[in-house]
Chain A
Amino acid sequence: MAGFDSGATALAVAIGGALWLHQVVIVPTPSVGMYLDRAVFHFAAAFVIIEIIEVGRAVARPLLSWRVTHGDASACGTGGAAAAVERLAGGGMRAQPKALAQRPTPGLRRAQRMAGAALLAILVTAQTASHLDERNAYLYMTTPRFPVGPGSGADGYVFWLEGHPTYMESWQFARQAALYGGASTDLGTGDTDARAGYAYVWTLLARPLGYFGGAVVLNALCWMGAALATWYLARRLLERELPAFGAALGVACGQGFVVMAGTPMSYVAGFAWAPILLALTHRLGLLAPAGHQPAGHQPAGQQGASWRARARWAAWGWTCGVAGLFYFTHVVALATLWLLGLRQPHCRPPLTGLLLASALALAVPASWEVAGRAGVGLAFASTTASDLSSNVKGLLQTAMARPLRLPDEAGQGSVRALAGGFPFPTLPLAVVGIVVAGHERRRWYLAVLLCGLAPAMVLHHLPVTQRYGYLAFPAVYIAAVEGVTWIARLSPRAGWTVAGVILLAGIQLLQANADLFGVYGYALAFGGP
């Protein structure tokens, strides 16, 4: 079942579909951007549909495909696990003449890991500190010098927090933090009650650090967590320390993080949950089977331990639900988990685990809504959640009534959503990485990327969707370093891999911080209309 390449098929559908649509749909002057937007939608839709069909095929011939007999995660028992790990980690790279993963490099020593983490921390701290107040990109973009700013005053669309200028909508989180900290009883907390997890952790840090300082430190911690989780994920996927660290550097220099770092809102935390939840799936053996189990853990699903497997799925679901109290990352993570979990090589689809995790992931935010209404008195004004649901309904209506228009609608701005967060050369390199990756890793990249991009497609009517599409970043940064590594290995000289990874990180660092030198194009590409 793993032999069918859904990525390649989806690509063919994307190209063919976009061209065919042009022939049957009358658009006066279709631009290249429109073609590409449609193609991205076709690609995403085809990929998901093919994956689901493949799962159906697998389910239809159970005894032939299921190589283990235990339920749920136990389906990924040690026998099939070895092959699955081979596929995920090595895969097609091993088929390359100069394979990336011929032999995994030995792990780093503790001191080296600490040094790497320290470098990431320095980058995150320095970029956070240099993008506060008036240099906060999400704020300065609203001043009159920028396209959305003419209606604002010289300080922008500003909210003053302890004398610091921040983006106006931060007031909602600040007021929630004051409410949970006992400083206020004002229940007029705006539209972000559902994201109370951020406000609550903020109020804990505000006690010693002040509200502004607490938010900045919280964002930096989340950013750091995202970089470390991506490092872990990349190490699992690529089995090479240097490219894995390069992916972490990509996150530490990530455009989306730099733009949002100084804003006391839950965006940075929401971004951070994406790689953390993905890393947990590997750490817990939900997707990568027993060969990747941490020391001391029973491989999920060994005989007599199915309750442990279910406990892991439940724990992941609960954590995913907690992420839903910060941002809608839980929805994206759930979609990714289903897409990857349903079709694991040599594994029976762990339906019970997936359902259990999904139920918990959705139950936690729902429980907060009950507790928040009854215990705290919050109103839970619907905003992004209702935007998402109403847009999904709208897209479904389009799909039913005018299906040929669906790619135009849902695909609108999807290329910009990707290119805005991942400027050249990161995105093209990620494409190279996806193409040269092994079959199973390519599936992982595409599932994470397309599910991360999905919110931008759903919220397509908004003028700025790049921050929604940024949830694709774990796949993009890891795939980009795989692309760099593959290109570097075309050279007979040693050391090009190191040079390539450093060069890519340097370019990302310069682009994300170009605004400090008066070059605003990169920041605007992410945050501007």
Chain B
Amino acid sequence: MITPERAASGFYFSVLVLPALVWIAGVFWGRRAAVGTGLVLAVLSLANALSPPRPLLTQPVQWAVGFTAADQALRATLAPPPRSHVAEILAGGGSATLFVCRGRGTTDDLEILAGGDGLGVIARPTASFCWLQLQVPPERLAGGSLEVTIRPRPGTGIRESGPTVLVGGYTRPIGDGGRSGGAAFFDGASWRTDDLSPSEAGPQAGRYFVELRLADAAGRVQEIWY
């Protein structure tokens, strides 16, 4: 596909920029280097001009996830990093805080459970800082990972306008070098991992922005489980 953008940029750079690279090679390494550089650039330019475009594959940095029914829920399994120092951090006076990123809403209509128990709110999100922060008792971290479940708070109902929307995003699968412990969405009938956000167009993979941050006594984050 020869688009005007492709043609215009190709012409400009082929005439004004690529010859400079060839010339530099020639000035420093002689005619052979210039010819070689020119040939490589010519082949690459021809391939760029004549072959089908190579699609740009990107993954979504963020997507929104909201509940549309009272019996829905989402689950994030927070895995510690390799060689976790959780015991040392907590023994040294550190703290464990659950961070949940909010897209919009008050978060009052959500129930957030860690290992099946509720957590106390430390700080609420602001306009410039999306994170709802909840205190996690150290004993909850003994199991090696932490399972967090978020669901509509019973009795608050699902409002048509203004329910809290949380945030998720792509992360690399463990098999590709990623670290996330995984996520799942309960659609009222079953837990599914093929689409973590039915409220967003298209299937969404990755994780929810739900993280456990372990800070030392001075408040510096030392370790993140996600």
Contacts and interface: CB of A to CB of B under 8 A. Distances in A.
A144 B213 contact: yes
B218 interface: no
Contacts of B10: 180
Query: In terms of DSSP, what is the predominant structure of the interface of chain A?
Result: helix
B158 interface: no
Interface stretch (A66-74, A157-165, A417-425, A429-437): A157-165
A134 B171 CA distance: 11
Interface in A170-227: 171, 174-175, 177-185, 187, 196-197, 200-201, 203-208, 210-211
Given A160-B60, A182-B1, A204-B41, A322 B16 contact: yes
Contacts of A211: 54, 56-57
A145 B54 contact: no
Interface stretch (B21-29, B104-112, B186-194): B21-29
Interface size class of B (residues with CB under 8 A): 35 or more
Contacts of A159: 58, 61
Interface residues of A, number: 65
Nearest to A158: B61
Given A155-B171, A319-B23, A207 B9 contact: no
Query: In terms of DSSP, what is the predominant structure of the interface of chain B?
Result: mixed
Given A163-B176, A183-B55, A232-B28, A376 B9 contact: yes
Interface in B26-67: 27-28, 41, 44-45, 47-48, 51, 53-61
B130 A206 contact: no
A208 B1 CA distance: 18
A193 to B, nearest CB: 11
Contact of B17 (A181, A197, A228, A294): A197
A372 B128 CA distance: 35
A376 B60 contact: no
B224 A207 contact: no
A180 B9 contact: yes
A161 B58 contact: yes
Contacts of B222: 145
B54 A206 contact: yes
A519 interface: no
Contacts of B180: 154
A184 B10 CA distance: 14
B161 interface: no
Contact of A204 (B4, B11, B45): B45
A171 B4 contact: no
A177 B47 CA distance: 14
B8 A375 contact: yes
A154 B224 contact: yes
Contact of B5 (A171, A319, A376): A376
Given A153-B211, A319-B23, A376-B9, A185 B54 contact: no
B159 interface: no
Interface in B127-184: 128-131, 169-172, 176-177, 179-180
A182 B1 CA distance: 7
A182 B177 contact: no
A151 B9 contact: no
B26 to A, nearest CB: 11
Contact of A175 (B17, B21, B56): B56
A358 B17 CA distance: 17
Contact of B13 (A133, A197, A232, A280): A197
Interface stretch (A238-246, A363-371, A398-406, A466-474): A363-371
Contact of A207 (B17, B48, B56): B48
A162 B4 contact: no
A160 B170 contact: yes
A302 interface: no
A336 interface: no
B20 interface: yes
Residue from B2, B21, B45, B61 whose CB has the most chain A CB atoms within 10 Å: B61
A316 B16 CA distance: 13
B101 interface: yes
A98 B44 CA distance: 52
25 contacts: A133-B177, A144-B211, A144-B221, A151-B129, A151-B131, A153-B211, A159-B58, A160-B58, A160-B60, A162-B57, A178-B53, A179-B5, A180-B5, A182-B6, A183-B55, A200-B9, A200-B13, A203-B48, A204-B41, A208-B47, A283-B27, A284-B27, A375-B7, A375-B8, A375-B11
The 3 closest A-B pairs by CB, nearest first: A375-B8, A160-B59, A182-B53
Given A149-B221, A163-B176, 6 more contacts: A144-B224, A160-B59, A177-B56, A184-B53, A207-B47, A364-B16
Interface of B: 1-13, 16-17, 20-21, 23-24, 27-28, 41, 44-45, 47-48, 51, 53-61, 101, 128-131, 169-172, 176-177, 179-180, 209, 211, 213, 220-224, 226
